[in-house]
Amino acid sequence: MSLRLLCTKQSLKSIKYSTVIPTVATTTLKLNQLRNFHDTPNKQNTTISNVIPQVPTPSTTTASIPTSSTTTKLPTTEYLKAFNNKELMSFFTIGLCTLNKPILQLCIKLFPYVPMFLIKALVYRIYCGGETIEEVQKTGLRLHERGINNMMISLTIEACDGNDNVDPNYIVAETARSIENILVPHTVKMINQAANVNDIPPGYVAIKPTGFAKDAASVLRNYNTTKKAEFEDLVEKASVVCQTIYESNLKLAKEYPERSAPFVVAVVDAEKYELQEGVYELQRRLYAKFNKMNAPVSIVGTLQMYLTGSAGLLAKEEELANKNGYRLGLKLVRGAYIHSEKNRSTVIHKTKQDTDNNYNTGISYCIDSIMKQQANESTIGHLVVASHNGDSLRLASNKVYTEENKLNKNKTNVVLGQLLGMADSVTYDLIENNKIGNVIKYVAWGPPLETKEYLLRRLEENGDAVKNDNGWPLVKASFWMLMNRMLGRA
Q: What is the pLDDT of residue 202?
A: 97
Q: Supply the pLDDT for residue 8.
A: 37
Cα-Cα end-to-end distance for the chain: 39
DSSP string, 217-244: HHHHHTTTTTTHHHHHHHHHHHHHHHHH
CB 63 within 8 A of CB 398: yes
What's the Cα-to-Cα distance from 237 to each of 167, 170, 242, 344, 477, rounded to whole Å? Answer: 12, 11, 9, 32, 45
pLDDT band of 46, cuts 50, 70, 90: very low
Among the residue ranges 23-32, 285-294, 414-423, the one predicted with the least confidence is 23-32
pLDDT higher than threshold 70 for residue 39: no
Strand partners, 153: 205, 443
pLDDT for position 158? 63
Share of the chain above pLDDT 90, in %: 54
Residue 112 has a pLDDT of 87
Mean pLDDT of 71-94: 80
**Pair 156, 451: CB distance under 8 Å:** yes
For residue 347, how many C-alpha atoms fall within 13 Å in the half-sphere facing its CB? 13
| Whole-number Å distance between alpha carbons of 432 and 422 | 17
CATH fold for the domain made of 129-445: TIM Barrel (3.20.20)
pLDDT score recorded for residue 3 = 37
Please tell me whether residue 476 adopts helix, strand or coil conformation.
Answer: helix
Residue 44 has pLDDT above 50, yes or no: no
| Average pLDDT of the segment spanning 124-143 | 94
Instruction: Say which range, 46-50, 385-389, 454-458, has the weakest mean pLDDT.
Output: 46-50
Q: Which residues contact 388 (CB under 8 A, 6 or more apart)?
A: 5, 6, 7, 418, 419, 422, 423, 426, 465, 466
More confident call, 194 vs 407: 194
Dihedral angle, C-alpha 39, 355, 451, 443, nearest 10 °: -100
Q: 462 falls in which pLDDT band (50, 70, 90)?
A: low
Per-residue confidence (pLDDT) for residue 48, from 0 to 100: 33
Report yes or no: 415 and 440 within 8 Å, Cβ to Cβ.
yes
Q: How many residues does the chain have?
A: 490
pLDDT at 376: 86
DSSP string, 162-207: T---S-HHHHHHHHHHHIIIIIHHHHHHHHHHSSSTTSSPPEEEEE
Average pLDDT over residues 66-82: 58
Residue limits of CATH 3.20.20.220 in the chain: 129-445
pLDDT at 74 over 50: no
- Mean pLDDT over the full length of the chain: 82
Which stretch, 96-110, 148-162, 353-367, 445-459, has highest mean pLDDT? 353-367
**Per residue in 203-240, pLDDT tens?**
999 999 988 988 899 999 999 999 999 999 999 999 99
Residue 43 in this model has a pLDDT that exceeds 80 = no
Q: What is the mean pLDDT of residues 127-144?
A: 95
